[in-house]
Chains A and B, each alone.
Chain A
Amino acid sequence: MEFNQLLMIAISVIFINNFVLSKFLGLCPFIGVSKETRSAFCMGLAVTFVMTASSIITWAVYSFLLKPFHIEYLRTLSFILVIASFVQLIEMFIQKFSPALYRVFGIYLALITTNCAVFGVAVLNSEMFLKTAGNFSKALLFCVTQGFCAGVGFTIVLLFMSGIRERLELCDVPRPMKGMAIAFIVASLMSMAFMGFAGFRF
């Protein structure tokens, strides 16, 4: 039963409610870091990592701090505070203990401290799993799954986009459409394709 629910969350977040193409969160890195596959993959890794970690930490803040004191309306403020300082901490940690990984993440880790996709995961988690009173550990499992899969969905879409844009470089694109313009059109076509997972309703 629980496994089914997790699978549902995973498929939903990766394909049907993809953060970039269906919810339109995190569009800045989606356009900005999708020029080449390598950096797109690094960005995806960093986002996945931060999303998973911030799911855990916002779960803790929400269920042990905001909820007992009935100050859920401070969710936005406290989540931003927690995520930003946590990512800073992680960055220092990685720089100290794994310079190689630090070089892979590079500037991307710092860029996503206040990324709306990361914040979106935290907010969605609290909307979907944390508001209702229930089992803490079960909610944690759901949050982590959603955070991780949202990151995976982001990475997949970023990789698709970078692959397409690398090929676009070789294509004879009309001059007024070159660069950003064609990238936006590609993004909208991809978005429509991903919307197809949700089924068509008229």
Chain B
Amino acid sequence: MIIPVLIMSAMGILFGLGLAFASKIFKVDTDPKVEKILSALPGANCGACGKAGCAGLAEAIARGDASLTSCPAGGDEVVGKIAEILGVDKCSVARKVARVGCGGGNNAKDKFLYQGVKTCAAANLIAGGQKACSFGCLGFGDCVVICPFDAIHMNEDGIPVTDIEKCAACGKCVSACPKNIISIEDASEKYYIKCLSRDKANIVKNACKVGCIGCKICEKLSKGAFIVENNLSKLDYSKLSDATPLKLCVEKCPTKCIIEAT
């Protein structure tokens, strides 16, 4: 009875000492930041960041190959901790969201009756989709299906809307949309034009109730923060000042395609 116990304990102690000794001999000096970041990360090795485990991401962040926000599982808290370790300002990390650049949906007319497979990708193959506006959303919700965070849903107008709280700006909807309507934008940029049509005013008006007709009212009101180019208004955030009457622009837009995100 005593011999097996002795032998097993001896083996345990031997290997334990051996490993302790070996870790001294084979010690590799690593960046101390890596270990600190590693302890800040969730440590689940889920692989959602695309790296082989948390250790891989910690190294990449320390090297500067990955951004602070690379860990989708960690959320804000982890970003804060890592920012502290690296000594950078957490506020400099701008939160991004996916934004749908079309308000058409049920407001836009169809140019033919489409009865094929109910996906945007399939509909887009037939003359660019059934919508009369060739820039607009087809409304079958490929983006809704692909979203891994359940952050994008169809609203009553038949247009996908992102849930800013849930959106992780992973960009999956951007690549899923055959019309390239969705883009990743700064969450702080609240005002945007919910139309991408570069058609002339009469074509836009015939196709859709809420399309940008390039009337330049916003350009005049905002004194150059909105710029109309190719019959499409665009908001330049660098030219924005406190005096810019954004709310007035939203109000005065004749087709109501300037949107204030909530």
- Say whether A89 contacts B22, CB under 8 Å: yes
- Say whether A81 contacts B28, CB under 8 Å: no
Does B8 sit within 8 A of A, measured CB to CB?
yes
Number of interface residues of B (CB under 8 A): 21
A88 to B28, CA, bound (A): 14
A82 to B12, CA, bound (A): 9
- Say whether B15 contacts A85, CB under 8 Å: yes
- Say whether B26 contacts A71, CB under 8 Å: no
- Say whether B4 contacts A69, CB under 8 Å: yes
Most buried by B among A69, A82, A107: A107
Question: Within A45-73, which residues are at the interface with B (CB < 8 Å)?
Answer: 65, 69, 71
Question: Within B1-49, which residues are at the interface with A (CB < 8 Å)?
Answer: 3-4, 7-8, 11-12, 15-16, 18-19, 22-23, 25-28, 45
Does A114 sit within 8 A of B, measured CB to CB?
no
Interface-located stretch among B52-60, B86-94, B237-245, B253-261 = B52-60
Contact A107 to B45, CB < 8 A, known contacts A39-B52, A81-B15, A89-B19: yes
Contact A71 to B3, CB < 8 A, known contacts A78-B11, A107-B56: yes
Chain A residues whose CB sits within 8 angstroms of the CB of B11 once the complex forms? 65, 78, 81-82
Contact of B4 among A74, A81, A95 (CB under 8 A): A74
Question: What mask results when residues 106 to 119 of chain A are scored 1 for a CB within 8 Å of chain B, else 0?
Answer: 11000000000000
Contact A78 to B8, CB < 8 A, known contacts A71-B3, A89-B18, A107-B52: yes
A81 to B18, CA, bound (A): 13
Does A136 sit within 8 A of B, measured CB to CB?
no
Question: Within A67-111, which residues are at the interface with B (CB < 8 Å)?
Answer: 69, 71, 74, 77-78, 81-82, 85, 88-89, 92-93, 95-96, 106-107
- Say whether B26 contacts A95, CB under 8 Å: yes
Least CB separation from A35: chain B residue: B47
Contact size class for A? 10 to 19
**Smallest CB separation, B40 vs chain A (Å):** 18
Chain B residues whose CB sits within 8 angstroms of the CB of A107 once the complex forms? 45, 52-53, 55-56
Chain B residues whose CB sits within 8 angstroms of the CB of A95 once the complex forms? 26, 28
| Interface of A (DSSP majority class) | helix
Contact A82 to B15, CB < 8 A, known contacts A71-B3, A107-B45, A107-B52: yes
Chain B residues whose CB sits within 8 angstroms of the CB of A96 once the complex forms? 25-28
Chain B residues whose CB sits within 8 angstroms of the CB of A39 once the complex forms? 52
Chain A residues whose CB sits within 8 angstroms of the CB of B8 once the complex forms? 74, 77-78, 81
A42 to B22, CA, bound (A): 25
Chain B residues whose CB sits within 8 angstroms of the CB of A88 once the complex forms? 19
A82 to B52, CA, bound (A): 26
**Smallest CB separation, B163 vs chain A (Å):** 22
Least CB separation from A86: chain B residue: B15
- Say whether B23 contacts A92, CB under 8 Å: yes
A153 to B179, CA, bound (A): 47
Chain B residues whose CB sits within 8 angstroms of the CB of A77 once the complex forms? 8
A88 to B22, CA, bound (A): 10
Least CB separation from A94: chain B residue: B26
Chain A residues whose CB sits within 8 angstroms of the CB of B12 once the complex forms? 81
Chain A residues whose CB sits within 8 angstroms of the CB of B55 once the complex forms? 107
Contact of A92 among B16, B22, B52, B56 (CB under 8 A): B22
- Say whether A106 contacts B15, CB under 8 Å: no
17 contacts between A and B (CB under 8 A): A39-B52, A69-B4, A69-B7, A71-B4, A74-B7, A81-B11, A81-B15, A85-B18, A88-B19, A89-B18, A92-B23, A96-B25, A96-B28, A106-B52, A106-B56, A107-B45, A107-B53
User: A71-B3, A82-B11, A95-B26 are known contacts; what are 8 more A-B pairs with Cβ within 8 Å?
Assistant: A65-B11, A69-B3, A69-B4, A71-B4, A81-B11, A107-B52, A107-B53, A107-B56
